[in-house]
Amino acid sequence: MYSIPFLLAVARVSVVQAVVASSRDGSSETQLTPDAIGDFPAVAFGNVHPTSSTTRPRCKAFPGDSSWPRESEWSRLNNTLGGALIHPLPPGSVCYSTSSNFNAEACSFLLRNASRTTFYQDDPVTILTQWPQGNTCLVSQNPSGNCTQGGYPVYVVNATSVKHVQAAVNFARNKNVRLVVKNTGHDSGGRNTGAGSLSIWTHYLKGFGFLPNYQQPGGNYRGPAARVGAGLQVWEAFAHAERYNVSLPAASCLTVGSYGGWITGGGHSPLSSTFGLGVDQVLSLQVVTADGRYVTANPQANQDLFFAMRGGGGSTYGVVTSAIVKAHPQINLTIASFSFTVANTTSTTPGPSVTIADIETFWKGFNEVFAFGIPTVDAGGYLWTNGIQLGSNSYQMQVQAQMPGLTPIEAASFVQPLLDTLNKLGIPVAITAPTTQVYSSQTGSRGVAPGNGYFASRLFPRSTFENATLFAAAMKAARATVEAGYVFHGLNMAPTLKVAGYPAPAGLNPIWRDVVMHADVFTGANMGALTSAEGAAVQRRLNGYMDALRVATPGGGAYFNEADILEPNWQTSFFGVNYDKLVQVKHERDPWHVFWAPTTPGSEAWAVQASSELPTQNGRLCRV
């Protein structure tokens, strides 16, 4: 239901546009009505101020429990949903000869071809980092053991309307069933899956409407905007943006969901130093809350949700069904790339990819590249780097200065001072013409397949880059990660309050406004091939290297969406001084704890009873 201010504002702008937007909307705005609830109280709405005290079972109902809904109740839920309830097996089940849907040909497709297609994105349960589901039923030529459901959900609502989301939330709350929300499955910490759960799958909420003259209630934003469905992926949002000649900032990987986890968790992009983060794009959210009601959250209405759901984490306060986001002018993204390697075969010819012999020169060059992070972000850019170990005593540094709005000639002259510095050190890098393209015309693989890696990350405040002692310590710690065999992936960006603009206050860690680099440190581990103890050792070893980075970045933190799910002091690291306020919103909006995901505000009250040393979702969810 729209709040009154929102309705008035829409009326003031243009009723015609609003109608066009919703009629183009593939997702329906149809809501759950008293008629549709009928005599099925399991899908009735909740009341956040209950008159009678609610019972508080210690655990969520689990299949096999007497409290688990009966078949007939799931079937009635399916009727309410118009048939959108799925009872899915893990995708790898086709590879297991003891599985009911064993199919060698389908398994061969998964092994050889699926990664080049949208197969996994269109699968209701696939998550792209597998260990959180317990490494059950992995796709394999010669699988050992049987396929079990593990940490995958039991039932999935293939949501195409607000009504579907409302019915799922109400059913889960009324029946004490664990509820999870999955969009594309990119979250790497298992916030998108859960054993014994009902999952709301937002993938087909694909609506899009361009609003050329949108006016925000309160009058603080007037201009182009778009109404976007929560299930749009980057490549789809870009295709719409290109059609209307606008820029919709989004993740670099085309298969990420732009308006699910990305906007609710933060959301960085090559445009972050120019247009801010994902949270800064959002003007209004349509949300189904824990009581099952459909509300508008913006700076005038449901401000608490509008704050919390922009960076305070997804899957914990409600389900976003659609958003209104800023549509920026079309902008070109121009990229100047080069790399340098240290090895025993040298190439002295200047070029975009050179090899040198002196290892200390390599590390001096490594430091100089990061020192160029500040000029890059201050010019509105995004400095993308990878430090990699190629072999014993051989390393490579890959660099891309991604510069929104510059021409190739401007980008070339922008990076020239860095090249001059490197040349003086004895690293003869030169760049050929930087590439340029319209930001939203980016193309690339729309395919994706599950992986099973492990990584951690750190947000670097500007103070680390501006204090010689801290910068030296940070570079030493970064070098140590590469020497230990990790990939150090730096992204220099500065999503300051100035570039964020209206409607700034957001639930994300406020230190983001003073950050000049987010860096991921990737292990080479395949968590599917390791025992639980070995997996835990991978995490501990990595965490030791992260400690040195933490010491060099006082006042820093870690990016909620791309982090170690075992990040120490995650409350402060992910949310900073906003944490208490986020917990308050969680308690007020969801006194039932219908939503739960690891390391979201207030999640400490519950834990998954899993046997693994790492926090998988393969077990019952119980109060602590």
Name the residues that contact ligand FAD, by CB under 6 A.
128, 181-187, 191-192, 202, 230, 251-253, 256-257, 260-262, 264-269, 314-315, 319-320, 561-562, 597
Choose between 76 and 182: whose C-beta lies nearer to ligand FAD.
Answer: 182
- What is the token pair recorded at 599? 């390391």
Q: How far is the CB of 188 from ligand FAD (least distance, A)?
A: 6
Nearest residue relative to ligand FAD (C-beta): 261
Choose between 553 and 562: whose C-beta lies nearer to ligand FAD.
Answer: 562
> Which of ligand NAG, ligand FAD, none does residue 437 bind (CB under 5 to 8 Å by kind)?
ligand NAG
Closest CA relative to residue 326, chosen from 182, 504, 474, 476: 504
The residues, any chain, with a CB within 8 Å of residue 329's CB and separated by 6 or more, are 246, 247
Nearest residue relative to ligand NAG (C-beta): 83
How does DSSP classify residue 317?
S
Contact 436, 412 (CB under 8 A): no
Contact 600, 326 (CB under 8 A): no
Please report how the helices 408-425 and 359-371 are oriented relative to each other, as an axis angle in degrees rounded to 10: 140
Q: What is the CA radius of gyration of the chain?
A: 24
Choose between 136 and 216: whose C-beta lies nearer to ligand NAG.
Answer: 136
Choose between 10 and 288: whose C-beta lies nearer to ligand NAG.
Answer: 288
Q: How far is the CB of 554 from ligand NAG (least distance, A)?
A: 6
Chain centroid to CA 352 = 32
Length of the chain equals 624
Q: What DSSP string runs through 251-297?
A: -SSTTSBTTTHHHHH----TTHHHH--GGGGEEEEEEEETTS-EEEE
Choose between 451 and 554: whose C-beta lies nearer to ligand NAG.
Answer: 554
Return d(Cα 484, Cα 213) in angstroms, integer. 53
- What is the token pair recorded at 461? 């405040």
Return d(Cα 441, Cα 295) in angstroms, integer. 33
Q: How far is the CB of 487 from ligand NAG (least distance, A)?
A: 18
The β-bridge relationship of strands 487-492 and 382-391 is antiparallel
Choose between 160 and 561: whose C-beta lies nearer to ligand FAD.
Answer: 561
> Which of ligand FAD, ligand NAG, none does residue 286 bind (CB under 5 to 8 Å by kind)?
none
Choose between 308 and 406: whose C-beta lies nearer to ligand FAD.
Answer: 308
Phi–psi pair at 563, nearest 5 degrees: -155, 170
Closest CA relative to residue 189, chosen from 532, 521, 535, 597: 597
Return d(Cα 60, Cα 607) in angstroms, integer. 11
Q: How far is the CB of 373 from ligand NAG (least distance, A)?
A: 17
Choose between 27 and 334: whose C-beta lies nearer to ligand FAD.
Answer: 27
Choose between 311 and 380: whose C-beta lies nearer to ligand FAD.
Answer: 311
Choose between 520 and 542: whose C-beta lies nearer to ligand FAD.
Answer: 520
Provide the 10 A C-beta neighbour count for residue 165: 28
> Which of ligand NAG, ligand FAD, none does residue 25 bind (CB under 5 to 8 Å by kind)?
none
> Which of ligand FAD, ligand NAG, none does residue 443 bind (CB under 5 to 8 Å by kind)?
none
Q: How far is the CB of 79 from ligand NAG (least distance, A)?
A: 8
Q: How far is the CB of 427 from ligand NAG (least distance, A)?
A: 14
Q: How far is the CB of 624 from ligand FAD (least distance, A)?
A: 20
Choose between 23 and 245: whose C-beta lies nearer to ligand NAG.
Answer: 245
> Which of ligand NAG, ligand FAD, none does residue 112 bind (CB under 5 to 8 Å by kind)?
ligand NAG
Return d(Cα 616, Cα 565) in angstroms, integer. 10
Give me the residue label for tokens 């389908």: 106
> Which of ligand FAD, ligand NAG, none does residue 393 bind (CB under 5 to 8 Å by kind)?
ligand NAG
> Which of ligand FAD, ligand NAG, none does residue 329 bind (CB under 5 to 8 Å by kind)?
ligand NAG
Chain centroid to CA 363 = 32
Choose between 47 and 103: whose C-beta lies nearer to ligand NAG.
Answer: 103
The β-bridge relationship of strands 328-329 and 394-404 is unpaired
Return d(Cα 426, Cα 119) in angstroms, integer. 48
Choose between 170 and 202: whose C-beta lies nearer to ligand FAD.
Answer: 202
Q: How far is the CB of 362 from ligand FAD (least distance, A)?
A: 27
Helix (H) or strand (E) holding 158: strand 155-158
> Which of ligand FAD, ligand NAG, none does residue 262 bind (CB under 5 to 8 Å by kind)?
ligand FAD
> Which of ligand FAD, ligand NAG, none does residue 407 bind (CB under 5 to 8 Å by kind)?
ligand NAG
> Which of ligand FAD, ligand NAG, none does residue 359 bind (CB under 5 to 8 Å by kind)?
ligand NAG
> Which of ligand FAD, ligand NAG, none does residue 124 bind (CB under 5 to 8 Å by kind)?
ligand NAG
**Secondary structure class of 532 (helix, strand, coil):** helix
Contact 600, 315 (CB under 8 A): yes
- What is the token pair recorded at 333? 């993204």
Q: Which residues bind ligand NAG (CB under 6 A)?
A: 78, 83, 85-87, 98, 109, 112-113, 124, 145-146, 158, 160, 204, 245, 329-330, 332, 342-344, 359, 393-394, 407, 436-438, 467, 469-470, 554
Closest CA relative to residue 548, chosen from 449, 474, 450: 474
Q: How far is the CB of 207 from ligand NAG (least distance, A)?
A: 12
Q: How far is the CB of 574 from ligand FAD (least distance, A)?
A: 12
Distances (CA, A) of 561 to 415, 478, 557: 30, 21, 12
Q: How far is the CB of 97 from ligand NAG (least distance, A)?
A: 9
> Which of ligand NAG, ligand FAD, none does residue 332 bind (CB under 5 to 8 Å by kind)?
ligand NAG
Q: Which residues pair with 295 in a beta bridge?
A: 287
> Which of ligand FAD, ligand NAG, none does residue 182 bind (CB under 5 to 8 Å by kind)?
ligand FAD
Q: How far is the CB of 438 from ligand NAG (least distance, A)?
A: 5
Burial of 77-87, coded b for 16+ CB within 10 Å and e otherwise, reads: bbebbeebbbe
Q: Which residues pair with 294 in a beta bridge?
A: 288
Return d(Cα 271, Cα 405) in angstroms, integer. 10
